[in-house]
Amino acid sequence: MMKIDVLSIFPEMFSGVLGHSILKKAEEKQAVSYQVVNFRDFADNRHQTVDDYPYGGGAGMVLKPQPIFDAVENLVQKAEGKKPRVVLMCPQGERYTQKKAEELSQEEHLIFICGHYEGYDERIREHLITDEISIGDYVLTGGELGAMVVIDSVVRLLPGVLGSEESHIQDSFSTGLLEHPHYTRPADFRGMKVPDVLVSGNHRLIEEWRKKESLRRTHLRRPDLLEEIELPSDMKKLLAEIRNQSE
């Protein structure tokens, strides 16, 4: 079972996300356990202050190292098994990808640190964390929403969580490409019809159509992804056909 701990001064934000849908079912299946800790409880002052003015001046407040160090050390001491990955949610971090989600899903214990205010004391970055993650090139009011995104993307990859073990294998980005289009009943909705190949029953042609449409969608929407992967010869041929059709 994976163990996920979250450090936040707003732990109530997580109840709706972790307590519903796939994330809740994953915990019920004992694929994962969650704990959200208010690191304000670890502050060593009677007012439970977790931030202070930055040395050298400047706008905003900075999260102090002591409460976060003590909170993480407490969780590590209580945990059994391997040393956890300690993930700092921060817009300066590594941009999050499906590859990173797959990497984190192999861990036994993850600790997420959600910050607020102007930023973190640099000693947290230098001496406490193992990973620093950003979910995009923009700034949020805190790390909670980012942590929820990462947790959701990791937990759905755990064995037995999704209804079909093949679901996440075919996801966009898992193969390096965007996923092909999907259709369901009715076959004709207000004159908008499902492609004939999908109702043909010919599985070879269906698979070829899906490959080609995955390539087409990636070529049109995220051509940068095609520069990062080595396609097999049959898919290179399909991509050449798509590019010729686009000209």
Q: How far apart are the first and last CA of the chain?
A: 51
- Residue identified by tokens 């909170």 is 71
Nearest to 104 by CA among 138, 153, 177: 153
Q: Which residues pair with 114 in a beta bridge?
A: 89
Catalytic residues: 91, 118, 156, 171
Q: Which residues pair with 33 in a beta bridge?
A: 3
What b/e readout covers 55-89, taking b as 16+ CB neighbours within 10 angstroms?
eeeeeebbbbbbbbbebbeebeeeeeeeebbbbbb
**E-strand stretches of the chain:** 2-7, 32-37, 51-52, 62-63, 85-95, 109-114, 119-120, 131-134, 188-189, 192-193
Letter for the amino acid at 101?
Answer: A
The DSSP line for 167-181 is: TTTTSTTTSSSPPPP
Q: Is 55 annotated among the ligand-binding residues?
A: no
Q: Is 115 annotated among the ligand-binding residues?
A: yes
Rounded CA-CA distance 169/4 in Å is 23
Q: Is 139 annotated among the ligand-binding residues?
A: yes
Q: What percent of the residues of the chain are helix, what percent strand, and what percent coil, each to the nearest 5?
A: 40, 15, 40
Rounded CA-CA distance 116/229 in Å is 37
Q: Is 137 annotated among the ligand-binding residues?
A: yes
Known binding site for S-adenosyl-L-methionine: residues?
115, 135-140
